[in-house]
């Protein structure tokens, strides 16, 4: 008889790999920054570079934990189940241990199977945890180190004393953006599974996103007007915050109706307010409203165009059962994250629509949105009618994914 082949401990391999990358960053960056100067030695910079690693690790742990919770939201909320309580296996109903519930590493340590019943756990769980963790880490680093937001005092980071700058305004803005990205991911995951957005999720998003901006106008980042002074700041501008909310929601509704020609064919809120196509349209507008509130109505057309391009590419990655609206819904949080991380250079770019841009740039971006339904369209049979939309049930989802409900 041959020897039993040992499986590779992938959790340990990943931990060692990340530790090596962090060590190389600390020593390598300290050495690079101390070259050519007699004021600093590499040893003087180890602590500051170690601070960078600690911040990145903390942000990824927070983000991946949020991703773990979003897996619960995407599984339970469309089924009218409570998102509270311990995680459990839907096959054997065994509660997961704390060490098995650790984001990404828990799945790797279990080798993708439930510890009790040994049935497979869908790889979707660690993928979502990693994707949300990476997106929140990028946004957190970009904002903590003052690299991304426009209308913010410039802070040079090229020298050896590259350190984060933290204040009350930045923390409120970062928290607002993290919540927005988390809500956007939740909506994308639910629509990817073919479920309509639960009212609880939509109402929670409305209260947090709208109420947060009205209570803390500093999270506007950019104004709702087209021309403002270079020293503009949103602190205390409550009327401007209200106008920012109104213009964002109006833009989301208008552009959602434009995209409905491809994603929600047949939607008619007047004659068929409870129809599936109309529900899809309402979900589409709700999904679009998140980046509209975060980034402003000026940049929304360009953001949606980029999201449409990403959605086209996601067809090779997502399951074949995912419809085009599901692909677009997943592309929105990806685009939102990239837009926040590169907000400052995009805001300064001549051909990216933003406040201060030429009206022709805004019109060109809007025209791009109008042509996106040409490829952002659901498949149609030979008769010309849209394919019936199938709402997956619990049995179908469990059989297809062999998933484990995690928290």
Tell me the per-residue pLDDT of 20-60, one tens digit each, with 9 for 90 and over.
999 999 999 888 888 877 778 888 888 888 999 999 999 99
Shared domain for 178 and 130, answered yes or no, is no
Q: Is residue 401 part of a domain?
A: no
Asked if the structure places residue 389 within a domain, the reply is: no
Residue 310, pLDDT score? 95
Distance CA(142)–CA(89), nearest Å, equals 37
pTM reported for the whole predicted model: 0.89
Do residue 306 and residue 206 come from a single domain?
Answer: yes
Same domain, 137 and 184: no
Q: Are residues 245 and 363 in the same domain?
A: yes
Domain count, the chain: 2
Which pLDDT score is estimated for 6?
Answer: 62
Range of the domain at 30: 9-144
Residue pair 221/232 in contact (Cβ under 8 Å)? The answer is no
Based on the fold, state whether residues 110 and 207 are members of the same structural domain: no
Average pLDDT over residues 58-71: 94
Give the model's pLDDT for residue 36: 74
Q: Specify whether 43 is located in the same domain as 176.
A: no
- Closest to 337 in 3D by CA, of 298, 307, 369: 307
Q: Is 278 in the same domain as 204?
A: yes
Distance CA 229, CA 151 (A): 10
Q: Tell me: do 200 and 133 sit in the same domain.
A: no
Asked, for residue 85, whether it belongs to a domain, the answer is yes
Shared domain check, 211 and 72: no
Are 109 and 256 part of one and the same domain?
no
Q: What is the mean pLDDT of residues 320-327?
A: 90
Q: Nearest 10 degrees: CA dihedral of 221, 226, 228, 234?
A: -30
Q: Is residue 115 part of a domain?
A: yes
Indicate the SS3 state at residue 237.
coil
Say yes or no: 126 and 180 in one domain. Answer: no
Q: Are residues 103 and 221 in the same domain?
A: no
The Cα 37–Cα 22 span in angstroms is: 24
What gap in Å lies between CA 135 and CA 138, rounded to an integer?
Answer: 5
Distance (Å, whole) CA 357 – CA 144: 27
């Amino acid at each position: 008889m041959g020897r039993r082949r040992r499986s590779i401990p992938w959790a340990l391999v990943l931990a060692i790999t990340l530790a090596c990358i962090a060590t190389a960053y600390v020593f390598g960056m300290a050495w690079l920054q101390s070259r050519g100067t007699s004021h600093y030695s590499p040893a003087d910079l180890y602590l500051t570079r170690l601070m960078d690693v600690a911040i990145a690790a903390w942000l990824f742990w927070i983000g991946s934990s949020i991703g773990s919770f979003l897996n619960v939201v995407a599984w339970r909320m469309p089924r009218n189940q409570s998102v509270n309580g311990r995680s459990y296996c839907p096959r054997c109903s065994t509660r997961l241990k704390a060490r098995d519930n650790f984001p990404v590493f828990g799945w790797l340590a279990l080798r993708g199977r439930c510890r009790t019943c040994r049935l497979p756990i869908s790889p979707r769980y660690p993928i979502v945890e990693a994707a949300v963790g990476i997106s929140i880490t990028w946004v957190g680093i970009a904002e903590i180190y003052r690299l991304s937001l426009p209308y913010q005092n410039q802070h040079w980071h090229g020298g050896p004393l590259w350190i984060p700058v933290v204040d009350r305004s930045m923390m409120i803005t970062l928290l607002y953006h993290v919540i927005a990205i988390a809500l956007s991911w939740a909506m994308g995951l639910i629509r990817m599974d073919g479920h309509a957005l639960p009212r609880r999720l939509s109402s929670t998003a409305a209260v947090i996103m709208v109420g947060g901006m009205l209570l803390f106008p500093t999270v506007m980042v950019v104004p709702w007007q087209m021309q403002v002074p270079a020293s503009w700041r949103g602190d205390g501008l409550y009327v401007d915050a209200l106008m920012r909310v109104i213009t964002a929601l109006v833009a989301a509704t208008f552009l959602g109706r434009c995209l409905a020609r491809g994603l929600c064919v047949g939607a008619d809120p007047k004659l068929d307010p409870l129809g599936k196509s109309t529900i899809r349209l309402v979900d589409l507008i709700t999904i679009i409203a998140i980046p509209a509130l975060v980034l402003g109505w000026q940049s929304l057309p360009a953001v949606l165009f980029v999201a449409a391009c990403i959605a086209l590419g996601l067809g090779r990655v997502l399951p074949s059962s995912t419809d085009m609206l599901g692909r677009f819904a997943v592309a929105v949080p990806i685009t939102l994250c990239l837009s926040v991380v590169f907000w400052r250079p995009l805001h300064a770019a001549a051909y990216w629509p933003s406040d201060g841009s030429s009206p022709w740039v805004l019109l060109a971006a809007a025209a791009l949105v109008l042509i996106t339904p040409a490829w952002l369209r659901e498949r149609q049979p030979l008769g010309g009618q849209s394919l019936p939309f199938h709402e997956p049930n619990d049995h179908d989802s469990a059989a297809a994914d062999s998933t484990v409900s995690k928290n």
